[in-house]
Structure 1
Amino acid sequence: MRILIVRIGRAGDIVMTTPALSAIINCYPDASITFLTGPDGPRLLKDYHPNLQELWIWNRSGALAYFNKRKIIKKLEQTHFDKIFCFETNRSIADIFSRYNSKIYWSDTLDNTIHCSQNYLDIVKQACPSLTGNFYAHLPVKEDAIKQVNEELSSIGISNDDTIIMLHPTFSGYSSNPFTWLFSKKYRTQTKHRLWPAASFSKLGIMLSALPLADNSKPKVIIDLIPDEAELGNKIIETSKDSITLLLTPPNFERYKALIKRANLLVTPNTGPLHIAAAVDTEIVALFSKWSPTDCGPFMRHDRYTILRAEDTPEPQLGLPSISVETVFEGCRKRLLSH
């Protein structure tokens, strides 16, 4: 049996498809699976499972968008799939697959009162009504990447026994270019709802690094950013009184997954690393504004994360800055001391 799965999006969107991917593998253990995804897909889905044998990349943006679409259509004309699971709600995308002699599972509307990952699982259940068990977000982490991260942390004085709190201060699409802020209303809206102030991260780092844990040790607080985000990282570090260690490394997704897995806790706004943390089962304190965590929060066991929302503060119109440092610290403290 050949199966095609379709989800074209950014990193977080694709991670939120992995519960459905795991369910399909569970339901059809002998199937050969192809995943049609966007440019972020390969780094997320590479080596996911032996049954996931092909990744087709469809870049829908840029000057070559039309030609990229034609390439996908040509591939579809040359390949027969017994079943197609389309997790895109855009009818124009779904209609592409209706031209072929395949059984298609798709919905043009998702229930916003439940998580989108659950919506995808419900689509899978149309084909596998007897499907049982819990399927959460999942990404495999390679042993050599874990070893690399442990060696990297050891070189800066962080041992395997230390409790690590990882702070993620940026979001997908973040830019330090002032012209982006000046000329893009969409970006200004994103910043309001997805960027917690640098000063708040600095203060949080100071408070967390002084928190006594159950074994009388204190957490190690780190921030890991790519070089393009160094300006924001340095701004946080400058006022953190040496309480935060900043790691600036070129993009390496295998390392990044392993680093998040090594962390005991991730503090992050609603963005890709939140979903990566859920997929490697790292505990999370997630900051939300405007977007609903019911629909796009971590898809993992409920006892593994804490959601803090601007809508629950006295001034929700301020976006993420309305969430106080003290509130985030208390959320972290409760998670760390609950073990």
Structure 2
Amino acid sequence: MRRALVARLDSVGDVLLCGPAVRAVAAGVDEVWMLCSSIGAEAARLLPGVDRVLEWDCPWITAHPPLATPEQLARLDALIAEAAPDVAVILTSFHQSPLPLALHLRLGGVERVTAASADYAGTLLDVRLRPGEEFPEDLPEPVRALTIARAAGFDLPDGDDGRLRMHAGRAPAEFDGLVSPVVVHPGASATSRRWPAERFAEAVALLHEAGRDVVVTGGSDERELTRLVAGAGSSALDLGGRTDLASLAAVIARAAVVVCGNTGPAHIAAAVGTPVVSLFSPVVPAAQWAPYRVPHVLLGDQDAPCRGTRATECPAPGHPCLSSVDAADVVSACERLAPAGRQEVSI
């Protein structure tokens, strides 16, 4: 039995974007275990090629990191011992370091570790890719992850086109009967990436007036937001807090188009082949994080002052990157991507 451990320690969208790399690793080993944060683990369980998911919140990567205590690091060491991988592939974005995890993997007896690191890795990595030297810094995130997997000796099998993929569940019963709906997801974990809720509500009302079925989605902590955007149910079906990740994927797979920011549902849409109207804040580069290999329209000022800051709260007064977009722009983009009358897709 040859087992690989693939690590991606941040959020849902980040985990979905490494799907092609995971499938490449799975094609070359008997088992793939993934090490993910408690937030990203749900997405990992829906990736083809993953046999088991280990959850651990990383003090140097997760958005709301736990303290780096002996107890927290001992949990990591116990998970590595449980996995007992023959090889490990650490997947990170350009601003994240793989080296602390590589040290724990090495101390745990993992004989072959691969990662991308701008910093000198000494004996911590067997295969080290240098960003900006051995591959460009502006690669789309799925390509970056697949590049790391290939350096580790893994590649996609014949017939795999390298697109994002995920397993979907069942949509809520209320969703049945809707015809080519527009799915609107107004939330995002970072306020810098959110279009104003009032603009979302206006766009939903305009879509409803145009005769489109509209569904508003959100997490259990976003019910107030989704109720506002859905017009208290008068303009859209409000599914706020009523889907897990698998059922949300089912809803999005049956949509004509998805309207959202740079957040997990944009990558879910790419994984199930649904076009995206992307309200994209340039705090991170669109070249790396835009919906991958799926039709999309990018809205937002990509040259706004927040460009490239990675800010979670908007650093520019008035949120100019997204406040420049009005509801009519979104409705027009929906019509470009999915003209009214498109037939509903079954999954």
TM-score (norm 2): 0.77
- Does the 8 Å contact 2:38/2:55 carry over to 1? yes
Paired positions, count: 299
Superposed CA offset, 1:70-116 (max 9, x none) = 12213434654222111134122222223434222211144431112
Question: Hey, what does 2:33 align to over in structure 1?
Answer: 34
Q: 1:228 aligns with which of 221, 229, 232?
A: 221
Alpha-carbon distance in 2 for matches of 1:11, 1:66: 27
Partner AA of 1:40 in structure 2: I
CA gap of 1:315–1:244, structure 2 versus 1, over 3 A, is farther
Conservation of the 8 A alpha-carbon contact between 1:8 and 1:38:
yes
Q: In the superposition, relative to structure 1, how do residues 96 and 227 fare at CA in structure 2: closer, same or farther (>3 Å)?
A: closer
State percent identity of aligned pairs: 21
Distance 1:324 1:313 in 2: 16
- Secondary structure class of the residue paired with 1:258: helix
Question: Corresponding residue for 2:75?
Answer: 71
Report if the CA contact (8 A) 1:199-1:239 is conserved.
no
Instruction: Name the counterpart of 1:326.
Output: 328
Q: Please state whether the residue corresponding to 1:134 is helix, strand or coil.
A: coil
Q: Deviations over 1:142-178 (max 9, x none)?
A: 3xx14xx3x3224xxxx15x11001111102xxxxxx
Q: For structure 1, which segment, 102-111 or 16-25, has the greater mean C-alpha deviation from structure 2 after superposition?
A: 102-111
1:267 partnered with 2:267:
no
Compare the two structures and name the one with the higher helix fraction. Answer: 1
Equivalence for 2:286: 293
Tell me, yes or no, if structure 1 residue 107 matches structure 2 residue 116: yes
Report the Cα distance in structure 2 between the residues aligned to 1:232 and 1:204, rounded to whole angstroms: 14
Which one of 262, 265, 273 corresponds to residue 281 of structure 1? 273
8 Å contact kept, 2:16–2:47: no
Deviation of 1:66 after TM superposition, in Å, equals: 3.8
| CA–CA separation in structure 2 for the residues paired with 1:246 and 1:130 | 41
- Which residue in the other structure is 2:165 paired with? 138
List alignment gaps of at least 5 residues for structure 1: 173-189, 212-217
> Hey, what does 2:201 align to over in structure 1?
202
Pick one of 122, 130, 141 that aligns with 1:116: 141
- Does the C-alpha gap of structure 1 residues 70 and 122 become closer, same or farther in structure 2, counting only changes over 3 Å? same
Between the aligned partners of 2:83 and 2:185, the Cα distance in structure 1 is 42
Residues 65 and 322 (structure 1), Cα distance of their counterparts in 2 relative to 1, 3 Å cut: farther
Contact 1:202–1:239 at 8 Å: present in 2 too?
no
Task: State the Cα distance separating 1:21 from its structure 2 match.
Answer: 0.6
Q: In the alignment, which residue of structure 2 is the partner of 1:171?
A: 188
Which one-letter code corresponds to 2:297 in the other structure?
A: T
Look up the match of 1:184.
none
CA 66–333 in structure 1, closer or farther in 2 if over 3 Å, else same = farther
Alignment CA distance shift 1:248-1:315 (3 Å): closer
Residue by residue, what CA displacement relative to the aligned partner does 1:37-81 show, whole Å, maximum 9, x if unpaired? 1102332222644x5322211123335854232122134346542
Q: Per the alignment, in what secondary structure is the counterpart of residue 163 of structure 2?
A: coil
**Residue ranges of structure 2 left out of the alignment (5+ in a row):** 59-64, 119-130, 308-315, 343-347
Shift of the alpha carbon at 1:269?
0.6
| Contact in 2 for aligned 1:279/1:300 (Cα 8 Å) | no
1:58 is aligned, of 56, 59, 62, to 56
2-structure distance, mates of 1:66, 1:320: 42
Amino acid at match of 1:120: A
Distance 1:94-1:315 versus aligned 2 partners, 3 A rule: closer
- Tell me the secondary structure at the aligned position of residue 85 of structure 2: coil
Bigger mean CA deviation after superposition, 129-138 or 286-295: 129-138
